């Protein structure tokens, strides 16, 4: 092959790859379907569906894509919906209005809808309480309960939500103060790195749902993900056994900060709750 032909072919290939990575995969939502086995799960919840979404990033992510995500999630008719934060993107307080416009359309559970906040929901430097309160207020007005270092009972299932680990407000010991070993339970915690602060988790040994990483957004067979905002590189995506009884499912997320994904499709996860 002549040098000119090679360069033209290589250029066309790179252009095609760039188009795919920037314009196609970031908007190719996947519905992952998995069982979530919880010891001593109440019989009333056995077989119920739980839809998990994370890292929506309303604002920079195009509305038409988000609206398609909402329709897809709603069509699954989940019994419970749980969001693990990053509804908006850090410094743009004006995105609160965009959040409010989307909330009537987001998937809701037939039984209930819960959320925690992610680092972006706390604004600049992850410590803007006015921003966090504004996000929480809009969610609450839309009948989405936000758990902030607190727990609640869901038909016999202990559910706790922890404030974001990068913010100065995370208090896992407070959220899990009433948890007792042997209790069927589930924790919402945006940033999986927070689980490594083990002493503050009150001996908790159950399931955790997280997000934050976007799955690294780009994955090569030979190299680590270039965009992985966690210290513990094990916390990329999917199910991870922490080693002390806790297991975490890390969502690849719906949205993005940088509009690129390669081998890391955005996802929502439809769990079927099972009594273990």
Closest CA to 232 of 219, 217, 246, 242: 242
Q: In this structure, what DSSP letter does residue 147 have?
A: P
Output the DSSP codes for 68-131. Answer: HHHHHHHHT--SEEEEES--B-TT-TTHHHHHHHHGGGS---SSEEEEE--GGGG-GGG--HHH
Closest CA to 204 of 243, 175, 176, 164: 176
* Kind plus residue range of the DSSP H or E element containing 9: helix 3-19
Domain architecture of the chain: domains with CATH: 3-275 (3.60.21)
Going by C-beta distance under 8 Å and a sequence separation of 6 or more, which residues neighbour residue 152? 145, 159, 160
The predicted structure's pLDDT at residue 18: 67
* 146 phi, psi to nearest 5 deg: -105, 125
Grade residue 10 by pLDDT with cuts at 50, 70 and 90: very low
Above 70 in pLDDT, residue 206?
yes
Contact (Cβ atoms closer than 8 angstroms) between residue 107 and residue 73: yes
Q: In this structure, what DSSP letter does residue 235 have?
A: -
Separation between Cα atoms, residue 126 and residue 159, nearest integer Å: 24
The predicted structure's pLDDT at residue 5: 41
The predicted structure's pLDDT at residue 19: 87
Query: What distance, in Å, lies between the first and last C-alpha atoms of the chain?
Result: 61
Predicted TM-score (pTM) of this structure:
0.93
Separation between Cα atoms, residue 4 and residue 71, nearest integer Å: 47
Contact (Cβ atoms closer than 8 angstroms) between residue 249 and residue 10: no
Separation between Cα atoms, residue 225 and residue 212, nearest integer Å: 14
Lookup: tokens for 42: 């109440």
Residue-wise pLDDT tens digits, 108-167: 999 999 999 999 999 988 999 999 999 999 999 999 999 999 999 999 999 999 999 999
């Amino acid at each position: 092959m002549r040098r000119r032909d090679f360069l033209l072919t290589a250029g066309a290939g790179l252009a095609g790859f760039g188009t795919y990575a920037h314009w196609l995969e970031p908007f190719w939502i996947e519905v992952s379907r998995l069982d979530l086995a919880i010891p001593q799960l109440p019989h009333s919840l056995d077989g119920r569906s739980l839809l998990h979404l994370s890292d929506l990033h309303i604002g920079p992510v195009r509305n038409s894509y988000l609206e398609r995500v909402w329709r897809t999630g709603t069509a699954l008719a989940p019994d419970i919906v749980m969001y693990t934060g990053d509804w908006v993107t850090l410094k743009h307080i004006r995105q609160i209005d965009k959040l409010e416009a989307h909330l009537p359309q987001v998937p809701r559970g037939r039984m209930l809808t819960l959320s925690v906040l992610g680092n972006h929901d706390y604004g600049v430097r992850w410590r803007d309480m006015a921003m966090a309160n504004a996000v929480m207020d809009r969610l609450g007005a839309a009948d989405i309960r936000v758990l902030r270092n607190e727990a609640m009972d869901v038909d016999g299932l202990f559910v706790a939500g922890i404030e974001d680990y990068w913010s100065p407000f995370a208090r896992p010991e407070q959220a899990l103060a009433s948890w007792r070993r042997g209790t069927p339970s589930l924790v919402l915690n945006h940033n999986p790195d927070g689980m490594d602060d083990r002493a503050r988790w009150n001996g908790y040994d159950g399931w955790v749902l997280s997000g934050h990483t976007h799955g690294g957004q780009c994955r090569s067979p030979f190299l680590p993900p270039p965009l992985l905002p966690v210290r513990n590189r094990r916390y990329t995506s999917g199910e991870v056994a922490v080693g002390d009884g806790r297991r975490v499912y890390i969502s690849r997320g719906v949205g993005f900060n940088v509009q690129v994904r390669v081998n890391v499709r955005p996802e929502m996860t439809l769990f079927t709750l099972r009594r273990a």
